A and B are shown apart, each in its own frame.
Chain A
Amino acid sequence: MKILEKLKTGRLFFDGGTGTVLQSLGLAPGEAPESWTLTRPDVIKSLHERYLDAGADIIKTNTFGVNCVKYDAYEEYITRAVALAKEATGERRDKYVAYDIGPTGRLLEPLGDLAFEDAVGIFAKGVKCAAKAGVDLILIETMNDLYETKAALLAAKECSDLPVFVTNAYDESSRLMTGAYPESVIALLEGMGADAIGLNCSFGPDRMAEIVKTYVARASVPVIVNPNAGLPSVKDGRTVYDLSAEDFAERTAELARAGAHIVGGCCGTDPEYIRKTVEKVKEIPYVYPEKKNHSVICAYTKALEIGERPLLIGERINPTGKKRLKEALRENDLSYVIGEGVKQAEAGAHILDVNVGLPEIDETSMMVKVVRELQEVTDLPLQIDTANRTAMERACRVYNGVPLINSVNGKEESMEAVLPVAAKYGGVVIALTLDGDGIPDTAQKRVRIAERIAARAEKYGIGKYRLVVDPLCLTVSSDRNAPRVTLEAVKELKSRGFFVSLGVSNVSFGLPSRDMINMTFFAEALENGLDLAIMNPFSKEMTDVYHAFTALNGYDTGFEEYIAYAEKSVPEKKSETPGDAAFTLDRLIVRGMKKEAAELTAKLLETTDGLEIVNTLIIPALGEVGEAYESKRAYLPQLIMSAEAASASFDVIRASLPSGKTDESRKFIIATVRGDVHDIGKNIVRVLLESYSFKVYDLGKDVPPEKVLDCVKETGCRLVGLSALMTTTVPAMKETIELLHSYDPEIKVIVGGAVLNEEYARMINADAYGKEATDTVRYAEEYYER
């Protein structure tokens, strides 16, 4: 009988530890257990046999530490290990060989240096080899990072049709080492199609009880528990665990009583432990897990359960109608995009919508980049919002967690494109109630489309609970009945057990004072049972409604959230407002007050020319801080804060420059060279150039030489400005110049920055040296006049 069939009939038993048993048989500390597959195969085979004799149904191959990075001969290790396990099971009926996969030992990007796809590739090689060698199932175990677990599971699913079991190692705080809670782990693994899930290693059975309870309560697949024999200590040079076989069996039986479906052991357990455990657990009644309906999304830490309370999806990372964001996306200015994410998180969004669709950019690569970067700055779950199937697939793949996918609709081609993505990567899907005939004009017809999508999703193994229906909201200004129909649909969908979402702000499109309409509609939708609202978290009116609603409807026990929100939203009494005469722009910059500097700059621009602000206020302020720093009256943090405040000022000035004024034929590439992150000087030059109507390609800071050359090739621009502040990065400047000149000796490079002078510039073969920002502008003007 196949193992998944067998599991429906009763409890199964895993074997116990391998490494610790081999140590007791003479494996030296630091010696790899897998080495014995080749050097002492008889011992490995006999250990398998002893476990089978003790009553284990599933034995793990001796491959925990084997992968293609550690061993060139990984195939030999795996093939031989599988062969030994199969020889041991021999003619025994209903005994199974699990290909054992352990962690790579490397941490994945961004925390470590192993790329996600490289991790998938490493696991894939092992899986292919084991599948060929004829294992019955794959066991991914002892994983303490959610992202690596995802990589391994993906490889297992992509490279074989075998059942996949996954067990994670939790720490004392009941989280994985990199922060994931059990609820998140369960949702990710089930969503991606793991056949049984659970926990192993870390500690003894007694300390696993709480986590096991969570697994049994939430998982729809069988739960595995492979604990250690308690906690380790060393006696006479040997590691011993504090639970005897008897105690271990007793406590593991408790976990079986709590509902665990597959039990066995990990470090410190041996065949005797398993024999005792089988004896104690055999008679405990076995209940196959029921389907649970938890609608969960998450990033790499906490899980967010849809339906427990209304949740806010921040809509600010969506270029529709947002000029600044469009510009940022076109110019590859991720820092702006990421900043919008951080601000929305601070404003109280629970989920961030990510939509980067613009006709002139490569949406797939941008989507992947933005998802990755956002996950570095926030642990909020993301909503992957795109109509581009490839972009959706790639984003779901690299996403660390369980995504919210936006969206599928009732059209055949949409369901065929989107549902398989959700089936493969897990996640909850937003379902729009429209089809080939457009958006129906009645609530009943919209509900029918929802039912149709749900039926199709079911065929892909996606339960109704993993859909959130968006019955769509049209603007009231074009159809006065539109909001009524939408609200009726919300109510009807809720009564049929669907979760419901709405893009709330659409309702007021084309009207003035939109927030006034939006807030009332939002309140009504919440009243009708809305679960997710895509909205602007920066709108005080909208967040007011939300917090009042949750307080009034029992979602905010103790009113803690409401009180915290109310206190925060009272206008602060500012002692140092930008309006105060004492705080002119230069003072704000010296004091590093970023937000205030930006605000005051905007105000000054009403009456003063941008360039004048730069010359009379910003540059002198930076000079002052610089001097204070040199003379030890100010410290580096203040210097950096001042630079940030100045940058914020620059951004405002730059945004104020009329965009139509740019002369596309006068191009200029500018960059701070590799290894250098000081971009204040570069930013000054950029603002100046733009104000003189040059088309500036700003590559940012820490820019490798190749990237500058790529930009030259792409834009055809032959005029480049390089900046460096540190002496250590002048070689990088020289290298960049050499690369550019070797590509085309006609390329002109002007350099600037605190460490440079005329002589130094000549030494590194620059074509010109710009002492002041205006020198660069003059040089560029002359270049294009020639």
Chain B
Amino acid sequence: MILKTFAGGIDPASVGLSQNETRFRLGGYAGHDDITDGLIKKCEKTLFSAAAPRWCAVLTEVSYPSEDKVELGFGEIHSRDLYKNLYPCRLAYVFALTLGSGVDRALRRLSKTSEAEFYVFDALSSAYAEDICDECERLLKGEGKTRPRYSPGYGDVALETQRPLLSYINAQRLTGITLSDACLMSPSKSITAIMGVNNEDT
């Protein structure tokens, strides 16, 4: 059963781009290269004007039909890993976020105009999606204690879980995220996640 829903836009001005994540996404870039630094600066500007982050989430009850099954309200998920991640949480947040189609348009444009900028912009926007994901996590948990978030396609949770998950949280209407036949999300800089809430009595 869904207990609470959340949805809205996130102002890019309120969430910075994390340097560590950016460098990680740039293949372990260590800094001190003026050419790359210049590109990063330029792409950061493009990113902040192209991004229109949106997110939606639900707080839902969790049950565990067996030791390799998790039920969040949209069908049983067969996964030992997710079970280990969540058990014995009775509640979990299921959420999705996207940087929006403006970022995809910029990516496509750069892929045709400058490979170097494309590479850096792609890394930056992936990093920024993680930053927005952190922001969603912060907004959701407040003072509460939660488990590390977990995404479909990771470990033994099938990527196909995306379809019922997105439909359960009404992500298409609320965020514009759609799925291809192969269960890839569009806009491409989007993340879905499941995050258990620690029981108060434990």
Contacts and interface: CB of A to CB of B under 8 A. Distances in A.
B5 interface: yes
Given A112-B180, A234-B2, 20 more contacts: A29-B168, A30-B168, A107-B178, A107-B186, A107-B187, A111-B186, A179-B102, A232-B5, A233-B4, A234-B58, A335-B112, A342-B112, A592-B35, A635-B33, A637-B26, A637-B36, A638-B116, A644-B114, A644-B115, A644-B116
A106 interface: yes
Nearest to A201: B173
Nearest to A591: B35
B193 interface: no
A376 B109 contact: yes
A373 B167 CA distance: 32
Given A376-B108, A635-B27, A641 B1 contact: no
A630 to B, nearest CB: 13
Contacts of A177: 100-101, 176
B155 interface: no
Contacts of B180: 106, 112-113
Interface of B: 1-5, 7, 9, 26-27, 29, 33, 35-36, 39, 52, 54, 58, 73-75, 100-102, 104-105, 108-109, 112-116, 119-120, 164, 167-168, 172-173, 176, 178-181, 184, 186-187
Interface of A: 29-30, 103, 105-107, 110-113, 142, 144, 169, 171-173, 177-179, 201, 232-234, 237, 239, 335, 338-339, 342, 373, 376-379, 591-592, 634-638, 640-641, 643-644, 677
B112 A29 contact: no
Contacts of B114: 644
A234 B186 CA distance: 27
B175 to A, nearest CB: 8
B109 A234 contact: no
Contacts of B186: 107, 111-113
B150 to A, nearest CB: 20
7 tightest Cβ-Cβ pairs between the two chains A and B: A177-B176, A237-B1, A640-B116, A641-B116, A112-B186, A113-B180, A107-B186
Contact of A29 (B2, B9, B101, B173): B2
B173 A237 contact: no
Given A112-B186, A234-B58, A640 B36 contact: no
Contact of B108 (A29, A110, A636, A641): A110
Contacts of A30: 73-75, 164, 167-168
A105 B109 contact: no
B2 A237 contact: yes
B3 A237 contact: yes
Candidate in B5, B105, B119, B167 with the most chain A CB atoms within 10 angstroms:
B105
Contacts of B112: 335, 338, 342, 373, 376-377
Contacts of B102: 179
Nearest to A645: B116
Contact of A377 (B27, B104, B108, B178): B108
A179 B167 CA distance: 23
Nearest to B105: A111
A342 B29 contact: no
B119 A636 contact: yes
A654 B73 CA distance: 62
Contacts of B108: 110-111, 376-377
Candidate in B26, B178, B187 with the most chain A CB atoms within 10 angstroms:
B178
20 contacts: A106-B179, A113-B181, A113-B186, A169-B173, A177-B101, A178-B176, A233-B5, A234-B3, A237-B1, A237-B2, A335-B112, A376-B105, A376-B108, A377-B112, A378-B109, A592-B35, A635-B29, A637-B35, A638-B33, A640-B119
A106 B27 CA distance: 32
A5 B153 CA distance: 54
B33 A178 contact: no
Nearest to B27: A636
A600 to B, nearest CB: 18
B176 A144 contact: yes
A637 B27 CA distance: 10
Contact of A106 (B2, B9, B178): B178
B23 to A, nearest CB: 10
A609 B61 CA distance: 74
Contacts of A634: 33
A171 B78 CA distance: 36
B115 A105 contact: no
A335 B112 CA distance: 7
A98 B84 CA distance: 50
A352 to B, nearest CB: 14
Contacts of A201: 173
Contact of A636 (B3, B7, B26, B181): B26
B116 A637 contact: yes
A70 to B, nearest CB: 11
Given A635-B27, A636-B119, A638-B33, A171 B9 contact: yes
Nearest to B114: A644
Nearest to B172: A105
A377 B113 contact: yes
Contacts of A144: 176
Nearest to A32: B167
B114 to A, nearest CB: 7
A265 to B, nearest CB: 16
A637 B5 contact: no
A592 B117 CA distance: 12
A377 B114 CA distance: 11
A644 B167 CA distance: 43
Candidate in A144, A237, A373, A641 with the most chain B CB atoms within 10 angstroms:
A641
Contact of A635 (B5, B36, B109, B181): B36
